[in-house]
Structures are given as C-alpha cells and as structure tokens.
Amino acid sequence: MRILITAGPTREYLDDVRYLSNASSGRMGFALAEAVMAAGHEVVLACGPVSLTPPAGCELHPVETTDELLAVCSEQFPKCQGVIATAAVCDYRPKSRFPGKLAKKGVSLELELVETADVLADLGRQKGNRWIIGFALESDEYAHVNALRKLKEKNCDAIVLNRPTAIGSESNRIEVIDAAGQTVATFSGTKLHVAQELWNWITQAVVQH
C-alpha cells in the first residue's frame, strides 16, 4: 500500500517574521511513518516545520502553512490507499499579513483571525474507496464527544484521541474510536511503540474490511 501521513505543525504568518503555530514535534507522525514502512508499505510524508530527520525511504513533502498542507494532500491522496492525519494544523490565521516586519508603535494592536482550511474535512469529501484515520487532541471533559463529532464531520473511519501532554513528548497515550463511536483500543508507551500498535490495529480493523 501507499499511505499518506501528515505530521508536525503548520504556521500562519502575521508578518514576514512572526507567525501563529503550536508546539507539535512531529514525533507521532514520524513514528507512524517508520511503523508503516517497516511493515513493507510506501509512505508519503507531508510534514510541517520540525527538527526531526525523516525516516529513510519515505517520500517527503515539507510544508509550512495550512494551505500548503492542503495542496500536498489534495495532490497525493488520490495516489494513496489511505491517510493517517497526525498533523497539528493551525486552526486560525491572521486575516491580513503585514508586509515586512511589523514594528512597535507604542499602542495596542488588534489582530483579527479567520479560520484556516479544514484539511481533514477536504480529504473526507474526496475519500472515495480510501480510508481515513484522523487525530483529535482534546483537553476538556468533553474530549470523547468532541473527538466523535470530528470523526463524523470529517468522514473518518476512526479517530485517535490524545491529550496535550503528548505535545513534544517522547511518549503518548491514545484512545482509538471507531466509526460506530466506540472506544475499541487504548495504547500507551513510547510514540514508536504506540505507532506500531496503532498500525497493527489499522491493518486488522480498517484495511482488511
């Protein structure tokens, strides 16, 4: 199989120097790329800015902004059998990008934000006979409900729920929610171990069905 994996953060620029982003390290996506390739499959890795070395042999597509990630995914997804979307996409961007470097003027600055493109929803619309595994990072008491809503709205086959403690960490604990809305597996440990367990679950519960 040929699998598309998204990883890392995206950036949305305020001016030519400053940007909105998040602290995603990309480790979960890179670990999944390793696990999928170790199982003998091809990986297309669409990755935001990270300090990691990509797994040898993967097809790497570096991106910065959400629109760039969307463009790569829209081009590559039709050539793949499935996608695992781990990227921590920036949900908002400044409505206007200032040219050059915005200088201090001794007054407050109001920043208007607008939503970025919904990459996972776009993939869900062009899904066809392919499969989609999404990731949902949630922090409050309604985490499961929010993840389930994302699963339905984005047309995913399953959603992986994890918490903010995963950001920048070497380890992770995830909850896998299937298309029926049921928690069907939980995995914890190093991100490589979690990736291997998750890929095993995907091959048994999603790919073979």
- At 23, is the secondary structure helix, strand, or coil? coil
User: What sign for the dihedral angle of Cα 179, 143, 125, 81?
Assistant: negative
Active site residue 172: no
Full strand arrangement of the beta sheet holding 131-137: 59-62, 42-47, 2-7, 82-85, 131-137, 158-162, 171-178, 183-190
Please tell me which residue in 22, 146, 155, 200 is annotated as part of the active site: 22
Residue 90 CA to residue 11 CA, distance in Å, equals 7
Question: What is the residue whose two structure tokens read 């990072």?
Answer: 137
How big is the chain, counted in residues?
209
Q: Catalytic residue numbers?
A: 22
